[in-house]
Amino acid sequence: MTRHALIVFGGQGRFSARVLPPMITRLREAGCTVVLASAPPCPESLQEVDGLTVVSLRPERWHPSGTPVPTTSGSGRRGPMGRLVGRLDPRSLSAGVDRRVRARQPEYADGRQTWSWVRASGDTMAAAAAADLVVAANAEAVRAVWELGRSHPGPEVVTGMAGVEGVLDAWRRASSEG
């Protein structure tokens, strides 16, 4: 039985991108079709993966150089008049973490951005509706996949390679028992 997997990859860190090729290979070995919804540019390491369906998340937000165009400032986002809206309490722990991460890594695509890109991507939402498994490949994709799980009760929703292995193991055990 062919199963369908959707991998969501938010952000573009080289370190976290390394997890994608073995994850895709592992899912295909287990008989899954794989769709990757990735914040552009698509990690170089994936250019060697034949026949991979890649959905680019909000490419218009990215400069051709591959550098993301900032869409948020601090813990909020810019409204139509350039005013900060939806800003967290700047004294909150979350806002502090956000500031520190952004200071270290200005191109960081956070969980909020990834979720808004996923929600706006018809192809990604269609893939989620057809999926048996949705995987958050890195931390920036966790919120998006968690929200997908809330709106789609069917698929398994997991994080990381451990989640992939866990679900494949559960499927394997279910098929051997049934």
Partner 1 sequence: MTSEGRPAAERPHALFVGLPFPPSRTGGVNRALATANGLAAAGFDVTVLTVDREFFRRNKGVDEQLETLIDPSITVVRVPLSLPRQEWNLRRWSRARVYSPTAWLERRTRRTAQVFPEANYSEWADDLVAAAFRVHRARKVDVTVATVNPNVDAYAAYRLHEKHAVPFVVDQRDAWTLNQFDGTRALAEDSDEARWERRIFEAAAEVWFVNDAMRAWHAATYPTVAPRMRVVMNGWDDGLVRPAPPRTGDAPLRFGYIGTLVPPVPLQELLDGWHSAVADPALDDAVVDIRGHLGFHPVPNAEMVEQLRAAAPDRVSYGGPVAKAAVADTYAGMDALLMIIQGGPYVTTAKVFEYVATGLPVVSVHAPDAGCVEVLRDYPQWFPAASMEPADVADALCRAARSIRGSGSAERDACVAHAERFRRDRQLAPALAAVRRIAGLAEVSP
Out of 27, 37, 163, 171, the only residue in the binding site for partner 1 (CB under 8 A) is: 163
- Please tell me the distance from the alpha carbon of residue 12 to that of residue 20, in angstroms, as a whole number: 11
Please choose, out of 17-25, 33-41, 61-69, 122-130, the segment that lies near partner 1 by the rule CB under 8 A: 17-25
Give min distance, CB of 80 to partner 1, in A: 25
Record the tokens describing residue 142, joined without a space: 């966790």
Shortest distance, CB of residue 1 to partner 1, whole angstroms?
Answer: 21
97 binds partner 1 (CB under 8 A): yes
Site for partner 1 in 123-162 (CB under 8 A): 136, 139, 142-143, 145-146, 149, 156-162
Residues at the site binding partner 1, with contacts judged by CB under 8 A: 18-19, 22, 93-94, 97, 111, 136, 139, 142-143, 145-146, 149, 156-163, 165-166, 169
